[in-house]
Structure 1
Amino acid sequence: MRVVLATHNPHKVAEFQQIVAATRPDLEVVAYDGPEPVEDGVTFADNALIKARAAAAHTGLAAVADDSGICVDVLGGSPGVFSAYWAGQKKDAAANLELLLDQLQDIADPHRAAQFRSTIALVTAAGTEHIVQGIWPGRVAHEALGDGGFGYDPIFIPDGQNAASERTVGQFDDGEKQTQSHRARAFAALVPLLATL
Structure 2
Amino acid sequence: MEEGFDVGARLRQLRQEKQLSQRELAKRAGVTNSTISLIELNNVSPSVSSLKKILDALPVSISAFFAGDEPNHPSPFYRASELTDIGDGQLSWQLVAARRPDRRMSILHERYPPGADTGEDMLEHDGEEGGVVITGEIEITVNGEVGLLGPGDAYYFDSRLPHRFRNRGDQECVIVSANTPPTFSDGGQELHHA
> What is the TM-score with the length of structure 2 in the denominator?
0.27
Q: Specify which structure has the bigger relative contact order, considering alpha-carbon pairs within 8 angstroms and separated by 6 or more residues.
A: 2
Q: Which has the higher helix share?
A: 1
